[in-house]
Each structure stands twice: as structure tokens, then as C-alpha cells.
Structure 1
């Protein structure tokens, strides 16, 4: 038995179009000379939410396109890229394409794939130029506490799966940031006669090593805020030594009900 996540589509599209409108308004403000760093953070959060939701619900084209937008915006908010007119104009064009893609996904229609490909290529070209320019100057970030990773205790509430959230999707995102080790706890599993495949009875201890900021982790887990008990702590030196001797795991593309 699997969960029909299509029941959550309406909420996803409503929130996505609201986020897209906020994104476009903020981009217009920046284009008109408004100087407010929070606008870039707002635009990034909107793109991140749309990317995460579209990935959860299987709208792969939307997720892939928005991921490129998100990467460009991340460079801006981290101060790695100037907020230029060219970049803002390209992001406004990207917003138009994203609206077209979301409407097509909502209405089971088609979007202008040729335009989407062109705009995505332009985004990737802009990112490529940034990578070349910064390749010799970007220094590794200092965590400030000597840690080189994070210890995450993730205990979803039993109703988590019914909200359309998928822990494995989040683990895949974490694995893209660094080396991920996953330890699953099964002690809360009910006896077979009482097992409900739409309920989550597992919890996880995750060890993520690499140059990863707390903000990056918060962005991944924001989708389950209020639906789990979550603890995120920097790795100590001793914990990091243990992590280095523990084999990492591969997070598979297809998840199963917990």
C-alpha cells in the first residue's frame, strides 16, 4: 500500500504560485534599485521551496530548472556574486518560464520546452562564468568551531508520510552536500498485525561530514518543521574520527514506506 500524494498537489501549487509572485515582486524591487539583502534571501527561499516541493511530487523538469535558479541565488546571498542588472533580468525571465512550467504541471499540459532550455542554458552559462572567475580565490569556509560536519537526530512523527514528505528525499539532498552515514532505529516498529504502511515508525541518526553550513541543513529540514523531533549538533573531534572510519551509505532513488 502506498500513499497517493496527488491529494497534496493543490496545496503545493497554491504555495508555489504565491512564492513565485513574491519572488517576482522582490526581483522587480531589486531591479528598481531597492537595496535590501533580505530580498535576495526571500527570493532564494521561494525558489528552494518550489524546488523541494516539485521534487517531492515528481515534477522533475520544474525541480531541475529551479535548482539552477537556486544555485545562482545562493551565490548572490552568500556574497559570491554581485546582484547585477543582467542577473536580475535573467532571473525575471526564469520566473516567467517557471510560471509556464508550473501551470503546465498543474493543468497536465505542455510548457515551452525550447524557451525553458534556452533560459536554463543562460543560467548555467552565467554560473559557469562565476565558477571560472572564483576558482582561484574562493577559500574553504571556516566553521568556527573546529567541526567538519554534523550529527543529526531525526525522529519523524507517525503522521509525517501523510503530509507528502519523504525522508529518503531529504537524505538524498544531504548526501549531495557531503558524506552521509545513516543509522536507522526500528525499536518503535509495531507488531505486524498493527502495522500501518501510511505511518512512520522509524527514526534516524545521521552523520554528515564535509563543509556544510547549518543554514543548508535548516533549508532541507524546513519541510518537516513541526512534524518531527529534530536535533542538529556540530561533530566533535572524537565523533568526526569515528565518522571517518565508518563506511558511508548510498541513498537509493526509490524510497519505501516506513
Structure 2
């Protein structure tokens, strides 16, 4: 049964414009040097939702731009980056740019690529300002198992992923196959379906997801791109990601 994704577009745009209002209000109320975790989390969640929805519907330019904004806000949220007036002003301008992009796509118009490129370049420059201390903290935040691997004289050769979608995941327009396709680009992927949650035939709802999956992804792969593949479904599934180790040859 194919789902006409266009029927969800109006809801996506309504929720995205509401999210932009939340982001703008939150940024205007941020005080440089005085982190407000609740406000930052609210801003980040709004951006995260817009990125996930735009990616689901194939609005790639919007999802790519929002991802750059989200990365900067994620560092603020985790305490890896100080809140400065420069960064706040930059994000406010990016919210305006994102609003214009959404209006253009909604109205079937071309996105102003030059304006988007200017804002994206400014965000990239701000992103590059992190110092060596911040870089170390970023590494530990995105690779939580690295110290464990060193302590056990072993190395990570891949990842085991237990992925159990909630029943309504398909109704949000998300497709597990698309996520698996993203993972397969990173390394050697083995996918095993778990059928234990599938009901009897006459109780099946074709719009609900009853399968779970165990995935083994082998290769020299960082944790971050794996998290990114599941980023827009993290609230719609149970997910466990664990490293696969191989003992170092000490001879």
C-alpha cells in the first residue's frame, strides 16, 4: 500500500512555521554568557523537527540548511560552545532565511540559492571557531565508547544496532528502508528482521509497523553518522547502539 506523501505537506508547513516562531522567540530571549538549558532545548527541538520533516518529504535544501543550524545549537545545548551575541544574531538571521525557504517551497517557487549560501557560509565560519578544548569535548560527546575501547586494549570494528520502531512510525512518513540505505553507504551492513511483534494476519494494520530489526554495521565508522541516520525518528522508536570490539594484535 503506497502512501501519498503530499497529503502531509500542509501539516508539515504549519508545524514548521510554528517551530520557526518558537526558535525566534527563544533566540530573542537568550542572554549571552547565561545559558538557559530549557530555552536552548526548545530551540533545538524545533530545528530538529523541521530538519526531520523536510528530509522525510524530500526537501533536501531545507534539511541540509537546518542541519548546519542544528549543529551549532547542539554545541550550545551540550555546553561545548558559549552563547555569544554574534552567534545568536547569526541564528536569528538564519531563521529568517529558513522561513523564506519554506515559503518558497510551499508556494512552488525557487529557493534563493545565493542567499542560502551566504547564510550557510556564515554558519560554517562560526562553527569553525571552536578551540582545541571544545574539540576534545565534542569528541567525547559523540564517541562515548572510545575510552572504554582503549581501556580494554581493543578497537571498535563496527556497531550493533537494535532498532524497534513504535507502531505509528510509518504514519509520520518515515521509512526504515531509507535509513538502512543510509547506513549501507557507511560500511558493510547486515540486517536481520525480528518478526515476534507481528500480529496474526487478520489483525494486521498495513499502516502500522510491527517489525523490529537487528543491524550489524562493520567498518571504521564514527558514531556520529549513525546517530544522524536515526535522528528524525529518535522519539518514534526504541534504539540501542553498541560498539563491536576486536582485540588488538599485541604480539
For Structure 1 versus Structure 2, the TM-score category normalised by the shorter chain is 0.7 to 0.9
What SS does the corresponding residue of 2:2 show, helix, strand or coil?
coil
Deviation sequence 1:123-150 (CA, Å, 0-9, x none): 11222333xx338951542737947655
Distance 1:25 1:153, change over 3 A: same
1:205 aligns with 2:203: no
Q: Of the candidates 234, 241, 251, which is equivalent to residue 222 of structure 1?
A: 234
CA distance in 1, matches of 2:169, 2:136: 39
CA distance in 2, matches of 1:223, 1:108: 30
Structure 2 gap ranges (5+): 150-155, 247-251
Q: Of the candidates 221, 224, 240, which is equivalent to residue 232 of structure 1?
A: 240
TM-score normalised by L of structure 1 = 0.70
Identify the residue that residue 2 of structure 1 maps to in structure 2. 2
Identify the residue that residue 136 of structure 2 maps to in structure 1. 138
Identify the residue that residue 183 of structure 1 maps to in structure 2. 191
TM-score normalised by L of structure 2 = 0.72
Distance 1:161 1:96, change over 3 A: same
Note the C-alpha offset of 1:201.
6.1
What SS does the corresponding residue of 2:30 show, helix, strand or coil?
helix
CA RMSD, aligned part only?
3.8
Counting matched residue pairs gives 228
The within-5 A match list for 1:1-258 is 2-31=2-31, 35-130=35-130, 133-134=131-132, 138=136, 140-141=139-140, 143=144, 146=148, 151-155=161-165, 157=167, 160-171=169-180, 181-185=189-193, 187=195, 202-207=211-216, 210-211=222-223, 219-222=231-234, 224-225=236-237, 230-232=238-240, 234=242, 240-241=244-245
Structure 1 gap ranges (5+): 243-258
Mapped contact 1:2–1:197 kept (Cα < 8 A): no
CA distance in 1, matches of 2:106, 2:193: 37
Distance 1:231 1:91, change over 3 A: closer
Note the C-alpha offset of 1:203.
3.2
